[in-house]
Structure 1
Amino acid sequence: MKIILALVLATAAAFVPHHVTPFPKTVVFGSGKYDGQLWDLDAKMDIWGAWDPNTPRSETNFNPFERNPDGNACDASGYFPGETNYKDPMRPEMNWAGMMKEKETMAFVEANPKAGDVPGAPGRLK
């Protein structure tokens, strides 16, 4: 009986491929650092400070001040309106002083581009 079992297993092993191609990796969408939190100017500056334009764009590596071709801003995970994973962010109350602070911050960001922040960089939308 043991001999028959050994022969059956040896024969079955002949039909098993030697090189098994792994299944493609499934991309699991997580969330950004500020997903579900207040998506205010301080949060955007934190994400911008950590952003590396030379590293592929992801939910934790994106320019929060970048706009898509329609002119829309991204959410706290770097997704734009119309994309499957877009979540409407929690926005702060806005007033004139807040808009002026945001204007100053945008002038700073535009005047100080990060090294590697060029069209076609892996960390940019385009």
Structure 2
Amino acid sequence: MQLTIFALTIASAAAFAPVMTPSVSTSLSLSYGEYDGQMWDNDAKKIIYGKFDPMSPRGVMNFNPFETFEGNSPDASGYYPGESGYKDPARGDVSFASMMVERAEIEDRLANPKAGEAPGCAGCKN
């Protein structure tokens, strides 16, 4: 009788144990971008934007750091909040004066997009 109770206790405890699926746990190999773990400020974004090729597929080394998706900006690897792989980036200090400089840069960038940069292009999220 004690053996039966012991066996039932073990069986019921095993029902609540987490199940690890090897294909899920080993298939996730995320890669990260050039500025992963570094300061992700406007200067870093401008460097990544300079390397951005809208005609090439989007990836951690090819994305528009100024593109927003559902109101969010990407991290230093092009991942957005809620996506697997997203890391909250280290952000630089901002001031009203620096924001006004960035605003002028944004307006210039929007007025003069890179060749091929349009919603739906290979390098864009949208």
Give 1:27 shift: 6.8
Alignment of 1:55-70 (within 5 A): 55-68=56-69, 70=70
- SS across alignment from 1:28: coil
Structure 1's 27 and 120: CA in aligned 2 closer, same or farther, altered over 3 A? farther
Q: Which runs of 5+ in 1 are unaligned?
A: 1-25
Q: Which runs of 4+ in 1 moved over 6 A?
A: none
- Report the aligned-residue RMSD: 1.2
Look at both structures and tell me which one has the larger radius of gyration over its CA atoms.
Answer: 1
Alignment of 1:1-126 (within 5 A): 28-68=29-69, 70-126=70-126
Which structure shows the bigger proportion of residues in helix conformation?
A: 2
Distance 2:90 2:32 in 1: 14
Which residue type is aligned with residue 84 of structure 1? S
Distance 2:95 2:34 in 1: 25
Give 1:61 shift: 0.2
Which segment drifts farther, 78-87 or 99-108? 99-108
TM-score, normalised by the number of residues in structure 1: 0.75
For these two proteins, the number of residue pairs brought into alignment is 100
- SS across alignment from 1:29: coil
- SS across alignment from 2:98: helix
Distance 1:121 1:67 in 2: 14
TM-score, normalised by the number of residues in structure 2: 0.75
Distance 1:73 1:119 in 2: 16
